[in-house]
Amino acid sequence: MGLAPLWRLRGAEPVDDLPAEVPAPEPVAPAPAVPTSRPAPLADFMPPPVASAAAPVVAPVPRPVPSGDLAGLGWEELEARIRACDACALCKRRKQAVPGVGDRQADWLFVGEGPGADEDERGEPFVGQAGRLLDNMLASIGLRRGSDVYIGNAVKCRPPNNRTPETDELAACFPYLARQIALIQPRLIVALGRPAAQALLNQEVRIAAARGKLFAYGEIPVVVTYHPAYLLRNLADKAKAWEDLCFARATMKRLKADAV
Ligand code: URA
Protein backbone atom coordinates (compact mmCIF):
# COMPACT_ATOMS: atom_id res chain seq x y z
CA MET A 1 0.00 0.00 0.00
CA GLY A 2 2.99 2.27 0.22
CA LEU A 3 2.06 3.33 3.72
CA ALA A 4 5.33 2.30 5.30
CA PRO A 5 7.10 5.67 5.03
CA LEU A 6 4.29 7.25 7.01
CA TRP A 7 5.49 5.20 9.93
CA ARG A 8 8.68 7.19 10.31
CA LEU A 9 8.61 10.40 12.22
CA ARG A 10 10.12 13.24 10.26
CA GLY A 11 13.87 13.09 10.66
CA ALA A 12 13.72 9.73 12.40
CA GLU A 13 16.17 6.99 11.61
CA PRO A 14 15.00 3.79 9.95
CA VAL A 15 13.09 1.65 12.41
CA ASP A 16 15.98 -0.73 12.95
CA ASP A 17 18.02 2.20 14.22
CA LEU A 18 15.49 3.57 16.65
CA PRO A 19 16.89 4.67 19.98
CA ALA A 20 16.90 1.88 22.49
CA GLU A 21 14.64 3.71 24.91
CA VAL A 22 11.70 5.61 23.54
CA PRO A 23 9.96 7.77 26.12
CA ALA A 24 6.24 7.44 26.68
CA PRO A 25 4.53 10.10 24.59
CA GLU A 26 2.25 11.42 27.27
CA PRO A 27 2.32 12.12 30.07
CA VAL A 28 6.04 12.75 30.18
CA ALA A 29 6.97 10.50 33.02
CA PRO A 30 9.80 8.25 34.05
CA ALA A 31 9.82 4.87 32.39
CA PRO A 32 7.67 2.44 34.37
CA ALA A 33 9.27 -0.34 36.26
CA VAL A 34 8.46 -3.75 34.85
CA PRO A 35 8.36 -7.27 36.25
CA THR A 36 11.66 -8.93 36.98
CA SER A 37 10.58 -12.36 35.80
CA ARG A 38 7.84 -13.90 33.74
CA PRO A 39 5.25 -14.08 35.11
CA ALA A 40 5.82 -11.72 38.01
CA PRO A 41 3.43 -10.34 40.57
CA LEU A 42 1.86 -7.15 39.35
CA ALA A 43 2.94 -5.52 42.58
CA ASP A 44 6.53 -5.78 41.39
CA PHE A 45 5.95 -3.04 38.86
CA MET A 46 3.01 -1.19 40.35
CA PRO A 47 3.54 2.20 41.91
CA PRO A 48 2.40 2.70 45.51
CA PRO A 49 -1.40 2.96 45.79
CA VAL A 50 -1.13 6.69 46.39
CA ALA A 51 0.95 7.34 43.29
CA SER A 52 0.31 10.61 41.51
CA ALA A 53 -2.26 10.84 38.76
CA ALA A 54 0.59 11.09 36.28
CA ALA A 55 1.88 7.63 37.21
CA PRO A 56 2.14 5.68 33.98
CA VAL A 57 1.16 2.32 35.46
CA VAL A 58 -2.57 1.89 35.97
CA ALA A 59 -3.99 -0.75 38.29
CA PRO A 60 -6.20 -3.40 36.70
CA VAL A 61 -9.89 -3.38 37.48
CA PRO A 62 -10.71 -6.68 39.19
CA ARG A 63 -13.07 -8.84 37.20
CA PRO A 64 -14.77 -12.16 37.77
CA VAL A 65 -13.04 -15.18 36.34
CA PRO A 66 -14.75 -15.88 33.01
CA SER A 67 -17.60 -18.29 33.51
CA GLY A 68 -18.08 -21.43 31.50
CA ASP A 69 -15.93 -24.44 31.01
CA LEU A 70 -13.13 -23.10 28.85
CA ALA A 71 -10.48 -23.32 31.55
CA GLY A 72 -9.02 -26.66 30.55
CA LEU A 73 -9.34 -26.28 26.79
CA GLY A 74 -6.39 -26.49 24.40
CA TRP A 75 -6.21 -24.60 21.13
CA GLU A 76 -8.10 -27.03 18.94
CA GLU A 77 -11.02 -27.42 21.32
CA LEU A 78 -11.09 -23.69 22.02
CA GLU A 79 -11.21 -22.78 18.34
CA ALA A 80 -13.91 -25.37 17.73
CA ARG A 81 -15.96 -23.83 20.53
CA ILE A 82 -15.47 -20.35 19.07
CA ARG A 83 -16.56 -21.51 15.62
CA ALA A 84 -19.68 -23.11 17.05
CA CYS A 85 -20.48 -20.29 19.49
CA ASP A 86 -24.02 -18.95 19.77
CA ALA A 87 -23.57 -17.00 22.99
CA CYS A 88 -24.74 -13.71 21.47
CA ALA A 89 -26.70 -12.45 18.49
CA LEU A 90 -23.58 -11.85 16.40
CA CYS A 91 -23.58 -15.56 15.51
CA LYS A 92 -26.75 -15.13 13.48
CA ARG A 93 -25.28 -13.08 10.66
CA ARG A 94 -21.69 -14.25 10.57
CA LYS A 95 -20.34 -16.35 7.72
CA GLN A 96 -17.81 -17.78 10.13
CA ALA A 97 -16.30 -16.94 13.48
CA VAL A 98 -12.70 -15.68 13.44
CA PRO A 99 -10.76 -17.08 16.39
CA GLY A 100 -7.37 -15.44 15.78
CA VAL A 101 -4.09 -16.09 14.06
CA GLY A 102 -0.39 -16.23 14.73
CA ASP A 103 2.29 -17.60 16.97
CA ARG A 104 0.61 -19.36 19.86
CA GLN A 105 3.64 -18.77 22.05
CA ALA A 106 4.09 -15.14 21.06
CA ASP A 107 5.51 -12.47 23.32
CA TRP A 108 3.22 -9.97 21.56
CA LEU A 109 -0.57 -10.10 21.52
CA PHE A 110 -2.46 -7.52 19.45
CA VAL A 111 -6.19 -7.34 20.11
CA GLY A 112 -8.57 -5.67 17.69
CA GLU A 113 -12.28 -4.98 17.84
CA GLY A 114 -13.98 -7.62 15.72
CA PRO A 115 -13.95 -9.11 12.23
CA GLY A 116 -15.08 -7.03 9.26
CA ALA A 117 -16.40 -8.26 5.93
CA ASP A 118 -13.04 -9.53 4.66
CA GLU A 119 -12.29 -11.34 7.89
CA ASP A 120 -15.79 -12.85 7.99
CA GLU A 121 -15.16 -14.14 4.48
CA ARG A 122 -11.67 -15.52 5.08
CA GLY A 123 -11.76 -16.51 8.73
CA GLU A 124 -8.58 -14.60 9.61
CA PRO A 125 -8.28 -11.32 11.54
CA PHE A 126 -7.08 -8.11 9.91
CA VAL A 127 -6.90 -9.22 6.29
CA GLY A 128 -8.60 -6.14 4.80
CA GLN A 129 -7.40 -2.58 4.43
CA ALA A 130 -7.05 -2.09 8.19
CA GLY A 131 -5.06 -5.31 8.26
CA ARG A 132 -2.62 -4.03 5.69
CA LEU A 133 -2.09 -0.98 7.84
CA LEU A 134 -1.68 -3.20 10.91
CA ASP A 135 1.00 -5.17 9.05
CA ASN A 136 2.82 -1.90 8.36
CA MET A 137 2.44 -0.88 11.99
CA LEU A 138 3.97 -4.20 13.03
CA ALA A 139 6.80 -3.76 10.54
CA SER A 140 7.51 -0.28 11.88
CA ILE A 141 8.66 -1.86 15.15
CA GLY A 142 10.33 -4.85 13.58
CA LEU A 143 7.45 -7.30 13.95
CA ARG A 144 5.75 -9.59 11.49
CA ARG A 145 2.37 -11.26 11.59
CA GLY A 146 2.79 -14.83 12.80
CA SER A 147 6.32 -14.43 14.10
CA ASP A 148 6.28 -13.87 17.85
CA VAL A 149 2.96 -12.09 17.26
CA TYR A 150 -0.58 -13.32 17.82
CA ILE A 151 -3.52 -11.30 16.50
CA GLY A 152 -7.00 -11.69 17.95
CA ASN A 153 -10.18 -9.73 18.41
CA ALA A 154 -12.39 -8.71 21.30
CA VAL A 155 -15.37 -10.29 19.52
CA LYS A 156 -14.94 -13.24 17.20
CA CYS A 157 -17.96 -12.67 14.95
CA ARG A 158 -18.55 -9.76 12.59
CA PRO A 159 -20.90 -7.10 13.96
CA PRO A 160 -23.49 -6.21 11.28
CA ASN A 161 -22.35 -3.34 9.06
CA ASN A 162 -19.10 -3.27 11.02
CA ARG A 163 -20.75 -1.46 13.90
CA THR A 164 -18.96 -1.25 17.24
CA PRO A 165 -19.62 -4.35 19.37
CA GLU A 166 -22.13 -3.82 22.18
CA THR A 167 -21.06 -4.21 25.79
CA ASP A 168 -23.01 -7.45 26.17
CA GLU A 169 -21.38 -8.86 23.02
CA LEU A 170 -17.92 -7.97 24.33
CA ALA A 171 -18.81 -9.63 27.64
CA ALA A 172 -20.20 -12.76 25.98
CA CYS A 173 -17.02 -13.19 23.91
CA PHE A 174 -14.55 -12.24 26.61
CA PRO A 175 -14.05 -15.78 28.00
CA TYR A 176 -12.61 -16.80 24.61
CA LEU A 177 -10.10 -13.98 24.65
CA ALA A 178 -9.28 -14.74 28.27
CA ARG A 179 -8.57 -18.38 27.40
CA GLN A 180 -6.44 -17.35 24.42
CA ILE A 181 -4.39 -15.10 26.69
CA ALA A 182 -4.01 -17.89 29.23
CA LEU A 183 -2.73 -20.21 26.51
CA ILE A 184 -0.41 -17.72 24.85
CA GLN A 185 0.88 -16.04 28.01
CA PRO A 186 2.15 -13.03 26.08
CA ARG A 187 4.64 -10.72 27.70
CA LEU A 188 2.75 -7.66 26.43
CA ILE A 189 -0.70 -6.94 25.03
CA VAL A 190 -1.45 -4.09 22.63
CA ALA A 191 -5.11 -3.05 22.61
CA LEU A 192 -6.11 -1.60 19.25
CA GLY A 193 -8.94 0.84 19.86
CA ARG A 194 -11.50 1.47 22.54
CA PRO A 195 -13.59 -1.74 22.49
CA ALA A 196 -10.47 -3.91 22.73
CA ALA A 197 -9.13 -1.76 25.57
CA GLN A 198 -12.43 -1.86 27.42
CA ALA A 199 -12.76 -5.62 27.02
CA LEU A 200 -9.25 -6.19 28.34
CA LEU A 201 -9.21 -3.59 31.08
CA ASN A 202 -12.81 -3.89 32.25
CA GLN A 203 -13.24 -0.14 32.40
CA GLU A 204 -14.23 2.81 30.25
CA VAL A 205 -11.23 3.86 28.17
CA ARG A 206 -10.62 6.92 26.02
CA ILE A 207 -7.67 6.19 23.78
CA ALA A 208 -6.44 9.79 23.76
CA ALA A 209 -6.27 9.75 27.56
CA ALA A 210 -4.92 6.21 27.88
CA ARG A 211 -2.02 6.51 25.45
CA GLY A 212 1.41 6.37 27.01
CA LYS A 213 0.21 4.65 30.17
CA LEU A 214 0.94 1.09 31.09
CA PHE A 215 -2.22 -0.80 32.05
CA ALA A 216 -2.44 -4.40 33.11
CA TYR A 217 -4.54 -7.44 32.38
CA GLY A 218 -3.86 -9.55 35.43
CA GLU A 219 -0.08 -9.61 35.50
CA ILE A 220 0.40 -8.78 31.83
CA PRO A 221 1.19 -5.18 30.85
CA VAL A 222 -1.21 -3.63 28.34
CA VAL A 223 -0.49 -0.72 26.00
CA VAL A 224 -3.36 1.08 24.31
CA THR A 225 -3.33 2.69 20.89
CA TYR A 226 -5.62 3.66 18.04
CA HIS A 227 -7.32 1.07 15.87
CA PRO A 228 -5.89 0.83 12.33
CA ALA A 229 -9.34 1.48 10.80
CA TYR A 230 -9.53 4.72 12.80
CA LEU A 231 -6.06 5.66 11.56
CA LEU A 232 -7.15 5.14 7.96
CA ARG A 233 -9.75 7.87 8.54
CA ASN A 234 -7.58 10.07 10.77
CA LEU A 235 -4.18 10.23 9.14
CA ALA A 236 -2.92 12.90 11.52
CA ASP A 237 -3.05 10.44 14.42
CA LYS A 238 -0.70 7.97 12.75
CA ALA A 239 2.28 9.69 14.31
CA LYS A 240 0.71 9.21 17.75
CA ALA A 241 0.14 5.53 17.05
CA TRP A 242 3.75 5.22 15.98
CA GLU A 243 4.79 6.75 19.30
CA ASP A 244 2.55 4.24 21.09
CA LEU A 245 4.19 1.38 19.24
CA CYS A 246 7.62 2.68 20.14
CA PHE A 247 6.46 2.85 23.76
CA ALA A 248 5.29 -0.76 23.48
CA ARG A 249 8.58 -1.80 21.95
CA ALA A 250 10.57 -0.08 24.67
CA THR A 251 8.36 -1.73 27.30
CA MET A 252 8.94 -5.14 25.73
CA LYS A 253 12.65 -4.53 25.70
CA ARG A 254 12.62 -3.77 29.42
CA LEU A 255 10.43 -6.79 30.15
CA LYS A 256 12.88 -9.07 28.38
CA ALA A 257 15.93 -7.45 29.95
CA ASP A 258 14.46 -7.73 33.43
CA ALA A 259 13.49 -11.37 32.90
CA VAL A 260 17.07 -12.58 32.42
N1 URA B 1 -10.85 -4.75 12.52
C2 URA B 1 -10.70 -5.45 13.65
O3 URA B 1 -10.81 -4.92 14.75
N4 URA B 1 -10.40 -6.73 13.56
C5 URA B 1 -10.26 -7.35 12.41
O6 URA B 1 -9.99 -8.54 12.41
C7 URA B 1 -10.42 -6.60 11.23
C8 URA B 1 -10.71 -5.29 11.31
pLDDT of residue 56: 59
Count Cβ neighbours within 10 Å for each residue of 33-54 and write b for 16 or more, e otherwise. Answer: ebbeeeeeebeebbeeeeeeee
174 CB near ligand 1 (under 6 Å): no
pLDDT of residue 65: 57
Q: How far is the CA of 158 from the centre of ligand 1 (A)?
A: 9
pLDDT of residue 59: 74
pLDDT mean across residues, the chain: 82
Q: Looking at the predicted structure, is the pLDDT value of residue 188 above 80?
A: yes
What pTM was computed for the model?
Answer: 0.81
pLDDT tens-place string over residues 114-172: 999 999 999 999 999 999 999 999 999 999 999 999 999 999 999 999 999 999 999 99
> What are the residues whose beta carbons fall under 8 Å from the beta carbon of 119, sequence distance 6 or more?
98, 125, 126, 127, 128, 131, 158
Domain boundaries defined on the chain: 66-259
The CATH class, in words, for 66-259 is alpha beta
Neighbours of 59 (CB within 10 A): 13
Task: State the angle between helix axes of 167-184 and 194-201 in degrees (0 to 180), rounded to the nearest 10.
Answer: 70
153 CB near ligand 1 (under 6 Å): yes
pLDDT tens-place string over residues 192-246: 999 999 999 999 999 999 999 999 999 999 999 999 999 999 999 999 999 999 9
The residue count of the chain comes to 260
DSSP state of 60: P
C-alpha dist (Å) from residue 227 to 44, 170, 191, 224, 244: 30, 16, 8, 9, 12
Q: How far is the CA of 232 from the centre of ligand 1 (A)?
A: 13
Q: How far is the CA of 35 from the centre of ligand 1 (A)?
A: 30
